[in-house]
Homo-oligomer: A and B are copies of this chain.
Amino acid sequence: MSLLAIGSVAFDAIETPFGKTDKIIGGAGTFISLSSSYFKTPVNLVAVVGEDFPQEYIELLQNKGIDTTGLQIKQGEKSFFWAGRYHNNMNSRDTLVTELNVLANFDPIVPAEYQDCEYLMLGNLTPAVQKTVIERLANRPKLIVMDTMNFWMDIAMDDLKAVLQMIDVLCINDEEARQLSGEYSLRVAAKKILGMGSKTLIIKKGEHGALLFQGDKLFFCPALPLEEVFDPTGAGDTFVGGFIGYLAKTDDISFENMKRAIVYGSAMASFCVEKFGTERLIDLTYEELLSRVQEFKELAGFEV
């Protein structure tokens, strides 16, 4: 029983009020697989990079229990590159550069040894690529979780709606939920979106936590109030990577267990934002994670 993750593996250049990085490693596939690897290994990764991507970082992923058989390295090409600048409140950012490079013609080849996939995490990519991965699996996974973004709602809504018919859990942020549904109230938006295919919906609200919807059931997990959010890049991917990683580890897709998975995902995301890029996700220990989950329990727990 394995966990398969697809998503970009890329370079980011980030400016926040706390500082500025040169090109560092980022991408949804990187954050998702690093986060999932704290729960379930191997994490089988399907992604593409150019020849500029550092071999030592691939080895680092491998040392975390990430299988990179499905990571294509395109000779003579360059990796996806994104540069952005966060505003003072860290809640909004400007994209300064987007160079698709190898992502422009990404053909997501699924290695034969990944065919035992039971938990499939479709990180943010073109909906067409996400769909191709589902179609290339001989057996339908037990759980398919999909992340996406407003950009695809703008330019590929039909493709996106087609993938929504094929998945189990959609994970988007509040603004994306409003755009997808045309509704401002997240509760009304969720109802509409749950009518589009997936049985379960997660709405991420960044520093304001996350909502989990399934039928009439509803769960809310706060974000941990932090003294300092250093760099929010990858927090959403880290969150969903922790979510599916926890589900794959426990092999229980009940609503009650999804609530726990949301808490674990939120705990992982709370580490992600403490340092630039993937830095904090690399040196994390499982004991630190468990201790942070307890902090969530203290933060949100009450008896009435």
Contacts and interface: CB of A to CB of B under 8 A. Distances in A.
B299 A226 contact: no
A185 B224 CA distance: 12
A186 B263 contact: no
B299 A218 contact: yes
Nearest to A188: B227
A264 B303 CA distance: 12
A220 B218 contact: no
Nearest to A186: B225
What's the number of copies of this chain in the assembled complex?
Answer: 2
Pick the most buried of A218, A301, A302: most chain B CB atoms within 10 A of its CB: A302
B293 A304 contact: yes
Contact of A260 (B185, B211, B303): B303
Interface in A170-228: 184-188, 205, 208-209, 211, 218-222, 225-228
Contacts of A303: 256, 260
B89 A302 contact: no
A225 B219 CA distance: 10
B219 A302 contact: yes
A282 interface: no
A94 interface: no
A275 B304 CA distance: 26
A229 interface: yes
Interface of chain A, main secondary structure: mixed
A140 interface: no
Contacts of A260: 302-304
A185 B229 contact: yes
Contact of A302 (B185, B227, B263): B263
A120 to B, nearest CB: 25
B211 A208 contact: no
B220 A187 contact: no
A300 B220 contact: yes
B225 A218 contact: yes
Contact of A225 (B220, B263, B296, B302): B220
Given A184-B89, A260-B304, A304-B260, A299 B228 contact: no
Contacts of A262: 302
A249 B225 CA distance: 30
A131 interface: no
A289 to B, nearest CB: 11
B302 A187 contact: no
Nearest 4 Cβ contacts at the A-B interface: A208-B208, A259-B302, A220-B222, A187-B225
6 contacts: A185-B225, A208-B208, A208-B209, A219-B299, A264-B304, A297-B302
Interface of A: 88-89, 184-188, 205, 208-209, 211, 218-222, 225-229, 256, 259-260, 262-264, 293-294, 296-304
